[in-house]
Amino acid sequence: MAIRKIIVYQRYATKPVILTDTSDNSKEEIQNQILNVLSSDKISILETSNDILVIRPSEVQAVLITKPNSINQELISQDSHDTPEEKKKYDEKLSLEKKW
């Protein structure tokens, strides 16, 4: 289970909305789902395995879909009994994730 981010940039918003998705859907499936939402003239719901976003498609400027991130899975599966050096690597990976 890898974590994919879906970042929605909206007109007039100061920050993008970041959704997370842990489903195993292919890139094409996700693209088609988002295109269906964006092609609507009405307020729509964009739902991932973890989040739900109610959006007005006419206000969306762009959508960025990241590749599934295997680093996230490594962080989740790491043992809690790490050596200090392993803990430092873990903290570095975490800080990179927070910058997103």
Q: What is the pLDDT of residues 31-87, one digit of tens each?
A: 898 898 889 889 999 888 888 999 898 899 899 888 876 544 454 444 444 566 766
Contact 93, 74 (CB under 8 A): yes
Spatial separation of the C-alpha atoms in residues 45 and 38, rounded to whole Å: 10
**DSSP labels for 50-68?**
S-EEEE-GGGEEEEEEPPP
Contact 93, 30 (CB under 8 A): no
Spatial separation of the C-alpha atoms in residues 65 and 12, rounded to whole Å: 21
Q: What is the pLDDT of residues 2-32, one digit of tens each?
A: 788 888 998 888 889 998 888 888 888 888 9
pLDDT band at 93 (very low <50, low <70, confident <90, very high): low
Q: What is the pLDDT of residues 44-57, one digit of tens each?
A: 998 888 889 998 98
Does pTM top 0.75 for this prediction?
Answer: no
